[in-house]
Amino acid sequence: MTISSTAAVATDRPARYAKQLASHMGRKAATEWDEEAGQGWIQFPTGKATLAAGDDVLLVALVADDAESRDRLEGVVGRHLVRFGAKDELVCSWVRTDGTQGSEQRNDADETPAETPADRPQSEER
């Protein structure tokens, strides 16, 4: 069974951020970006992100092996996008297949509401 979620990230430079995300993730995962088509993908071990540059929006669709992988991939993809687009104040809000709100990544707030323990920094034991 696959689990999915989508995000529509408002930006006046969707192709630039998609290309940057695919290029950066290509260091650890298989990726492809077609500049002419404005589309690409990132293949992770537990799922896949499909990227599509539209008019003032970057569409990201995740398909994952399970809910835990989907939650983790939302965080990974979203955090990278908002970091790359810090000057443009990008916000990545995920919507699950069933229509419920997924996690949200932004530079000025913590992820909500689907942050998983794996997404949080480990605190040192005292």
CATH level 2 (architecture), domain 3-115: 2-Layer Sandwich (3.30)
Read off the pLDDT of residues 17-55 as tens digits, 9 standing for 90 and up. Answer: 999 999 999 999 999 999 999 999 999 999 999 999 999
- pLDDT score, position 84: 92
Domain boundaries, the chain: 3-115
User: Taking residues 63-74, what's their average pLDDT?
Assistant: 95
Residues 6+ apart with CB under 8 A from 80: 21, 24, 25
Is residue 112 scored above 60 in pLDDT?
Answer: no
State pTM to two decimals: 0.81
Average pLDDT of the chain, as a whole number: 86
Is residue 110 scored above 60 in pLDDT?
Answer: no
